[in-house]
Chain A
Amino acid sequence: MIEVRLFATFRDGREKILYLNAKDYLHAADVLKYLGIANEAVAILLINGRHSKPEMDVHDGDVVALFPPVGGG
């Protein structure tokens, strides 16, 4: 499974955590497409805690975390 964690406004109308079948998703962009989130809407995309881009591969056991533009201090 791919664990997808959603944060901030991405939680609106969605669950906080989803589990997806790895064989249906090759790249992070496929996950975004499934969720109906535009690539440009994602400010921080983490795969296993590392900053990544939508075109990067996702694999079984990965944790994908998605954040819209937010920040702090």
Chain B
Amino acid sequence: MATTYNEKILRINLTDRSVKTEDLPLEKAKKYIGGRGLGTKILYDEGIAKVDPLSTENKLVYATGAMTGANVPTGGRYMVVTKSPLTGMIACSNSGGVWGARLKYAGWDAIIVEGKADKPVRIHIEDDKVEILSAEDLWGKSSEEVTDTLVQIYPKASVLNIGPAGETGSLLACIINDKDRAAGRSGVGAVMGSKNLKAISVVATRTIIPPFDADGLRDATRAAQAKIKENGVTGSGLPAYGTAVLVNIVNNIGAYPTHNWQSSYDADADQTSGETLKEKYLVRQGFCHRCPIGCGRVVDLNGRIIGGPEYEVVWAYGSNCGIHDMNAIDEANHLCNELGLDAISTPCTIAAAMELYQKGYISEEECEGVPLVWGSNEAIIEWTKRMGRGETALGRLMAQGSFRLCSHYGHPEFSMSVKKQEMPAYDARGIQGIGITYATSNRGGCHVRGYMISPEVLGLPEPLDRLSTEGKATWTMVFQDLTAIIDSMGMCLFTSFAMGAPDYAAILNAGTGTDYDVAKLLLVGERIYNLERLFNKEAGMKPEEDCLPKRLTEEPITDGPSKGEVSKIAITLPQYYEVRGWKDAFPTEETLKRLDLV
């Protein structure tokens, strides 16, 4: 019987240039689903938790999801799983576009890259034909240049690449695909660069993936499409305004950090909102593979038509740096795509540098002609370039992220990060549940791994009081476990505004032949989440790293509608460990047995 798995993994060793086809046993695929779950399992079993992330021993798994390439809404995503050089823990970076679907159509569930090439190389995959070729002519080039060059050679190719940031070892380097989609976080681009791997292009003959139960999948997909269309967020809000529609919402509750989280309300935030973007700069929507939502923004930047910024990036380059100029933000975002930089961590590091400069710790001389002043368009653009290209001493230091930057100046407390990864655009002092997500996310400061904003701010699936701690620990756990499922299925998290666990179960079962009910499905998600935590434990994570910066626990918000609030993580964290069945940040023996992880 068909399933949406290819049951084949490609293992490429760049040291000896070997290319091997390995079987993916169906039982293993079903137990970990795919994508995030499968990638984590592979790396955990191969002992990657203990390696030096930028050494030849680290491995990269480019893992498609169970439903990637299948005829389901948003079925096109893939994960890059590796050990992060930024956090020293699991890196699991999610991307859309079309590359993941092409890899699946080419006949592969995942690619494992190991070793290191002696010179810059690229990989070209055409169905089952795999070549390792020289990339010396591409080294140093931007995402657009690399993609255009490779598409000239292979007109039907989807291209994945690193930019100069990954080549120069920036811990904030990301992996770009299809020019402006990103496996953005945790420095995965630096790992790829450390292997001298510049790009992976994929051409596939197939355009469909036959499921286990075609009729069942058709029904489940129709039902999901209807829900997505009907839902206000996925059916009208995101299509019309993109993710930056959140700017005015989060700002009006007073949880929109400004000036490196020194305040949390910006009276001028509307100038860089989703509404303003639509009114003045939007050209058209951007869509990923099989996506009916189209949250992507294609914008006009002074006559250039380019991929536009997401909410997190608008915030990070915008109010968090004191900026209100949408063109400057668009330019900086575009640079991140071109240079291959994490468009959240990069501006958050610039904001940290601006605070260090404001307080006199970074000198005028170190700024080498571009002072790190709040609100300077030139600063956000020039420092992004310097970080992406490894230019100037301070630029190279900033390219290591805000934690290492601020520690260098003796003030690590100015790094608004968790486990050394920068937090995104929601002030956890004004939203208690997202604080739990930040503190406990296995990959560090991150919002998507347990998007508590949905109930606490948007009222979906039901409204929770953002300032209350009640029930937040349980909600966070459920969101985290369900997210692990969606990430492993290769579907987009945004479908969860409209779809629930039963909908995902129906799609997965029809696609792969599993028979998960909601409880069993959430157990799989829980297993994946705990496996990541085991990886981190073996990587040397300390319990106290489940924490929030002191600014969030000791410095109340200074202004705006959430003035006076602090994070109550001291209350919610023990509650979270209780519901997880963890002790001192790690799963107990009992929990591991229950999850079949012993």
Tell me, yes or no, whether A binds B: yes
Surface stretch bound by A, among B113-121, B235-243, B381-389, B413-421: B235-243
Q: A44-B459, A46-B252 are in contact. Are A71 and B233 (CB under 8 A)?
A: yes
Surface stretch bound by A, among B10-18, B46-54, B132-140, B460-468: B460-468
A8 to B249, CA, bound (A): 10
Does the CB pair A70–B451 fall under 8 Å?
no
Does the CB pair A8–B252 fall under 8 Å?
no
Residue in A5, A11, A72, A73 whose CB lies within 8 Å of B252: A5
Most central of B245, B310, B497 by chain A CB within 10 Å? B245
Verify if A16 is at the interface (C-beta below 8 Å from B). yes
A68 to B232, CA, bound (A): 8
Interface size, A (range): 20 to 34
Verify if A51 is at the interface (C-beta below 8 Å from B). yes
Residue in B241, B249, B273 whose CB lies within 8 Å of A44: B249
Contacts of A16 in B (CB 8 A): 270
Does the CB pair A65–B275 fall under 8 Å?
no
Kindly count the residue-residue contacts between A and B in the assembled complex, taking CB atoms under 8 Å apart: 97
Residue in A8, A48, A71, A73 whose CB lies within 8 Å of B460: A71
Q: A72-B311, A73-B493 are in contact. Are A51 and B240 (CB under 8 A)?
A: no
Q: A7-B275, A67-B249 are in contact. Are A72 and B560 (CB under 8 A)?
A: no
Contacts of A71 in B (CB 8 A): 232-234, 237-238, 245-246, 454, 458, 460, 497
Contacts of A13 in B (CB 8 A): none
Bits for B242-257, please: 1 = Cβ < 8 Å to A, else 0. 1111101100111000
Q: How far is the CB of A26 from chain B (nearest CB, A)?
A: 22
Residue in B234, B241, B242, B253 whose CB lies within 8 Å of A46: B253
A65 to B269, CA, bound (A): 14
A68 to B465, CA, bound (A): 19
A67 to B232, CA, bound (A): 11
Does the CB pair A43–B458 fall under 8 Å?
yes
Does the CB pair A51–B561 fall under 8 Å?
no
Number of residues of chain B lying within 8 A (CB) of chain A: 44
Bits for A1-28, please: 1 = Cβ < 8 Å to B, else 0. 0000101110100001000000000000
Contacts of B497 in A (CB 8 A): 71
Residues of B within 8 A of A (CB): 231-234, 236-238, 240-246, 248-249, 252-254, 270, 273-275, 295, 310-312, 447-448, 451, 454, 457-460, 463, 465-466, 493-494, 497, 560-562
Given A70-B238, A72-B274, 18 extra CB contacts under 8 A: A8-B241, A8-B245, A8-B274, A8-B275, A11-B275, A49-B252, A49-B253, A50-B253, A51-B459, A51-B463, A67-B249, A70-B236, A70-B249, A71-B497, A72-B243, A72-B310, A73-B310, A73-B448
Instruction: Sort A-B residue pairs by CB-CB distance and give the 8 closest, nearest first.
Output: A69-B232, A49-B561, A70-B237, A72-B243, A71-B233, A72-B246, A70-B245, A65-B252
Residues of A within 8 A of B (CB): 5, 7-9, 11, 16, 43-44, 46, 48-51, 65, 67-73
